[in-house]
Chains A and B, each alone.
Chain A
Amino acid sequence: MTTGLDLGTPATQAIRSDEDVVRVRQLVRTTAVAVRLSLVDQTKLVTAASELARNTLIYGGGGSAEVTTVADGRRRGVRIVFADQGPGIPDLDLALTDGYTTGGGLGLGLSGARRLVDDFDIKTAVGEGTAITITKWSR
């Protein structure tokens, strides 16, 4: 998986409340506009960030989002790392199945977010937490 070269220092936003999810969305949108992602890609990335930030809050018990501008040859992109020290995900395949939820949502957040971005990487350990890295590249 290519993650590219970091450009600039990452911006970090703590995720502790519903308002923070909105702040993550705004931060991601500003970064996506700066990198000149198309309107469709901006919306996709913001939506994916919204899903994952809410997961971090609801299932991970809060955490943080780290937004970085990255470059890979001629492409530029936005990479976001969502990290929490929550309970972790016991069955990743099941969690990534459309329609599976333990929290009363639609069960599309995690699987949908994976379809919305170009790179999706998830590291999770039961009892230790979850870190999800997503990247969206400009075309």
Chain B
Amino acid sequence: MALSAEQGGRLADLLSRHADRLSNRWIEIVAASLRGRLSRAELARQVQELHRALVDAGRQGLGELADEHGGELRAVLAELSTTRARQGFSATETAISVFAIKDALLELMEEEQGETTLRDFVAFSALVDQMGLFTFETFVRARESLIADQAEQLLELSTPVVKLWEGVVAVPLVGTLDSARAQVVMERLLQTLVDTGSPYAIIDITGVPAVDTQVAQHILKTVVAARLMGADCIISGIRPQIAQTIVALGIEFGDIATKASLADALRHVLRQTGVETTSRRARREA
């Protein structure tokens, strides 16, 4: 049930009359649930902000949280849950911060005991429930955006193009190569080829756990694109189990050079460019 205008007024009145006592009790309940993971000063600031927004909303005659007068209160709640989500608190811990006001208020209203007290409390309790749900929803949304951000960062992180030698660049692929990542890899590689003027590129798939047709297709497309730009591509890091799987699947890499390890691939390129590599024997101390 929605809060009537008088109920809103009475609530605001009650809240501001017992402001200190209420917020202290409120802080106490929340602090117990958070077990010291948030400083008391920070908590007090949040509770007081919420308290103030609630008093203002009550004075303006807030009936439900979704009302026009609830804008300020919603903003405060949204900020609270977003910060909590980013600080790594659970959804329950965040919701308790809001629900705790019910307990604090009930203690107060029990002392007052007027004829409207019960109705007021039920109406007020409904408002707190709406506030709790709203907090929960914002919390989830904040978490989701956090995860999306991290996924994006991971995409950036996991696709470096490194220079191995003069004229040789390498892309060590790690993890799952989906279409989005394959696109990033291809763009990075082609750009680096232009920037460094390298005639050779090595794509290392040691860190790719399974090479299926989609992964193979992405790699093949990248190789063809690099070739169009005049660079030669070598695929390295083909482990025995991957080789057998590729054969069984029927994927053909055609005339693309493939090597078992990155070292083999580099040696192959150096030999082609005419760089002399001599193996030095380990010196033994007599």
B249 near A116: Cβ-Cβ < 8 Å: yes
The segment from B31-39, B117-125, B209-217 that touches chain A is B209-217
In the complex the two chains form, what is the Cα distance from A116 to B247 in whole Å?
Answer: 9
A108 near B245: Cβ-Cβ < 8 Å: no
Interface check B178, CB cutoff 8 A: yes
Chain A residue numbers with a CB within 8 Å of B249 are 47, 51, 108, 112-113, 115-116
Digit string of A42-85 for contact with B (CB within 8 Å is 1, else 0)? 11101100110010000000000000000000000000000000
A116 near B210: Cβ-Cβ < 8 Å: no
User: What residue of chain B has the Cβ atom nearest to residue A50's Cβ?
Assistant: B212
A18 near B213: Cβ-Cβ < 8 Å: no
Given contacts A22-B176, A47-B249, A115-B250, contact A109 B244 (CB under 8 A): no
Chain A residue numbers with a CB within 8 Å of B277 are none
Interface check B242, CB cutoff 8 A: yes
How close is A54's CB to chain B, nearest CB, in angstroms?
6
Digit string of B145-168 for contact with A (CB within 8 Å is 1, else 0)? 000000000000000000000000
User: What residue of chain A has the Cβ atom nearest to residue B240's Cβ?
Assistant: A40
| Chain B binding surface SS class | helix
User: What residue of chain B has the Cβ atom nearest to residue A38's Cβ?
Assistant: B241
Task: Indicate which residue in B211, B214, B251 contacts A54 across the interface (CB closer than 8 Å).
Answer: B214
Given contacts A22-B176, A116-B248, contact A47 B214 (CB under 8 A): no
In the complex the two chains form, what is the Cα distance from A112 to B246 in whole Å?
Answer: 9
Task: Indicate which residue in B178, B217, B240, B250 contacts A105 across the interface (CB closer than 8 Å).
Answer: B217
How close is B68's CB to chain A, nearest CB, in angstroms?
38
Chain B residue numbers with a CB within 8 Å of A42 are 241
Interface check A121, CB cutoff 8 A: no
In the complex the two chains form, what is the Cα distance from A112 to B241 in whole Å?
Answer: 15
B211 near A106: Cβ-Cβ < 8 Å: no
User: What residue of chain A has the Cβ atom nearest to residue B216's Cβ?
Assistant: A106
Chain A residue numbers with a CB within 8 Å of B242 are 43
Q: Which of B176, B209, B213, B241 has the most CB of A within 10 A?
A: B213
How close is B151's CB to chain A, nearest CB, in angstroms?
10
How close is B210's CB to chain A, nearest CB, in angstroms?
5
Q: Which of A40, A54, A111 has the most CB of B within 10 A?
A: A40
B251 near A106: Cβ-Cβ < 8 Å: yes
Q: Which of A51, A98, A108, A111 has the most CB of B within 10 A?
A: A108
Residues of B within 8 A of A (CB): 176, 178-179, 209-214, 216-217, 240-242, 244-245, 248-251
Contacts A29-B209, A50-B214, A112-B250 given; 20 further ones with Cβ under 8 A? A22-B176, A39-B241, A43-B210, A43-B245, A46-B209, A47-B211, A50-B210, A50-B212, A51-B213, A51-B249, A105-B217, A106-B213, A106-B216, A106-B217, A108-B213, A109-B213, A112-B248, A112-B251, A113-B249, A115-B250
A sample of 30 cross-chain residue pairs with beta-carbon separation below 8 angstroms, ordered by A number, consists of A18-B179, A22-B176, A25-B176, A39-B241, A40-B241, A40-B245, A43-B209, A43-B210, A43-B245, A44-B248, A46-B209, A46-B210, A50-B210, A50-B214, A51-B213, A54-B212, A54-B214, A105-B213, A106-B213, A106-B217, A106-B251, A108-B213, A108-B251, A112-B248, A112-B250, A112-B251, A115-B248, A115-B249, A116-B248, A116-B249
